[in-house]
Chain A
Amino acid sequence: MIRIENLVKHYGDVQALRSISFDVNDGEIVGFLGANGAGKSTTLKIMTSFLSPTSGNVYVNDQNILDHSLDIRQQIGYLPESNPLYPEMMVYDLLEFTARVRGIIGKDFRKALGKVVEQCGLQGVIHRQISACSKGYKQRIGLACAMIHDPHILILDEPVTGLDPNQIVEIRELIKQIGQEKMVIMSSHILQEIEATVDRIVIIDDGIIVANGTSKELIANLKGRTQLALEVKNVSEDSVHTLKATHPALDVSIGPKDGETFSLSIEYERGSDPRESIFKHAVDSGWVILEMSRHKIQLEDVFRSLTMEGGSNA
């Protein structure tokens, strides 16, 4: 497992990570979510030994990453965000080079090569020059390089950025499949992508962790308010005032009028469900309800509320 403790990173005057702590267990797919510039890549770069933290520690299986850098690098497969590859190299040569550095040669290499070529669908490009490959293939080549040594830990920084929808589905399936046996940490700023793939979500904003849990837990934990949108006919100002007076917990506002119909927006604290009493009031006041809908909180709202309002409700 990976344990991250109070990670802080400064780039000159810029504080990229303020304090990052979280754990990742074996066999878990963790999505690392945050807006651009929130500190996702910096955290992953520290976990992969590319950068050193200003302070704080990363432990992989209780070994400190600074003291056992080479050992830990051997256990990790990493796909950087920009997926840098040597354009002049052949795909085969790059995979062979990567494997050789990992100590995989000869028969072992041929076996590993066969496996990643099949997993990543590289059959058509294996003897092509990398500069001649499409973006989708390049992404898969990067992924193949990260997986050639069958690592325990796979760290993928925005693995599906720039791919077309079909490729995204393929890569997502691949990640899920790998995640059955291995620890996968993938970052993204696109929520749907993470939601569909991972077991657990860690949301980072402005260098701190603002949420950590399954998508259900995150939604359940979202404090704040729920909104009801109503479209009603035969509404008088007085009856709205009565509604306000009898239900002080509701925040009622009258929206634009469209002919006979008004739109009403009613906000209330989560936990209560005033729909029934609103309905009764409507009947008593002679309102005709054309539509009543509750805005269902989705993960996207969690993400927005955490990353746009300063993240104080985590």
Chain B
Amino acid sequence: MHNVKTIFVKELRSYFMSPMAYIFLVCFTLFNGYFFTNTFFLINQSDMRALFSIVPLVYLFFIPVITMGLLAREKNIGTIEVIATLPIRDWEFVMGKYLSALVLIVAGLAFTLVHFFTLASVGANIDFGAALCGYLGLIFVGAFYAAIGIFSSSLTENQVVAFIIAVVIVLVFFLMDKLLIFVPHSLAGIIQYLSVDYHLSNMSRGVIDSRNLIYFGTMIWLFLTLTIRMVETRRWR
């Protein structure tokens, strides 16, 4: 377990040693801020719901950016050979990397709390519970997308390719419930259950259903397991 922490610390450091973390945090905050405040005063309600539908959209491009290099870059510059010959298990390596990306995402989310505090100071009748649940939902969605991102990164040694694969997979889950009308009735239920929006909108209303938690938990587990398997296949090529 201490290897996970060692990898995690190293990865987090290298995010902050390169411009990546700063660019991500600044742009993520600005984009969310722009889209949120754009309509905020028009609607004129003390409600965070708008943010909870904007952040997943911003995630769509930003999470693949921070995850694309996680494994692809190791393969590209060859450091995977060093890591793989150190006494580190493949899952420890993947988890350490994944958690570092997750912390960066949560840090990005923390900056959007500025809107919450603004709202809390000027608004009235704020549903704190819903806001809290919404943020929890956003963390889950971020964790899900990051798992997709690290999986894409395990498929290739080209970061651009990893980025594109991640955006495509994320887009599939993102768009699923928007395409429900084109789907035969019998499949609609399944497709809806698989879509991210369905679970997030539940949570941002302030409802935490075990189905939502199971959904996110399963999806994250699935993509991380696939990633670890992909890293393992290296030895057999």
Q: Which A residues fall within an 8 A CB radius of B?
A: 11, 45, 48-52, 70-71, 73-74, 76, 78, 80, 82, 84-89, 93, 97-98, 100-102, 145
Contact = CB atoms under 8 A, between A and B. Distances in A.
B18 A101 contact: no
A48 B85 contact: yes
B77 A101 contact: no
A78 B84 CA distance: 11
A100 B13 CA distance: 15
B14 A73 contact: no
Contacts of B82: 78, 80, 84-85, 145
A76 B235 contact: no
Interface string B156-185: 000000000000000000000000000000
Contacts of A73: 85-87
Nearest to A45: B81
Interface string B1-42: 011001000100110011000000000000000000000000
Contact of B85 (A11, A50, A71, A88): A50
Nearest to B18: A88
Nearest to B73: A86
Contact of A86 (B2, B14, B89): B14
Contacts of A78: 82, 85
B14 A101 contact: no
A76 B14 contact: no
Given A52-B235, A52-B236, A97-B10, A84 B85 contact: no
5 A-B pairs closest in CB distance: A84-B78, A48-B85, A52-B235, A73-B87, A84-B79
A50 B84 contact: yes
Nearest to A52: B235
Contacts of B88: 101
B211 interface: no
Contacts of A45: 81
Contacts of A50: 81, 84-85, 235
Contact of A49 (B79, B80, B85): B85
A126 B86 CA distance: 22
Contact of B13 (A49, A70, A93, A98): A93
A256 to B, nearest CB: 51
Interface in B57-83: 77-82
Nearest to A41: B81
A108 B81 CA distance: 26
Contacts of B84: 49-50
B77 A74 contact: no
Given A101-B86, A145-B82, A88 B14 contact: yes
Contact of B87 (A70, A82, A85): A70
Contact of A98 (B77, B86, B235, B237): B86
A49 B235 CA distance: 8
Contacts of A100: 2, 6
B87 A74 contact: yes
B86 A89 contact: no
B29 to A, nearest CB: 24
Contacts of B13: 89, 93
Given A48-B85, A49-B84, A50-B85, 16 more contacts: A11-B237, A49-B235, A50-B81, A50-B84, A50-B235, A74-B87, A78-B82, A84-B79, A86-B77, A87-B77, A88-B17, A89-B13, A93-B10, A93-B13, A100-B6, A101-B6
26 contacts: A49-B84, A50-B84, A50-B85, A51-B234, A51-B237, A70-B89, A71-B87, A78-B82, A78-B85, A80-B78, A80-B81, A80-B82, A80-B85, A82-B81, A84-B77, A84-B81, A84-B82, A86-B77, A89-B17, A93-B13, A98-B86, A100-B6, A101-B3, A101-B6, A101-B86, A102-B86
A287 B186 CA distance: 106
B162 to A, nearest CB: 18
Nearest to A142: B82
Nearest to A78: B85
A86 B79 contact: yes
A73 B79 CA distance: 16
Contacts of B86: 73, 98, 101-102
A118 to B, nearest CB: 22
Contacts of B87: 70-71, 73-74, 101-102
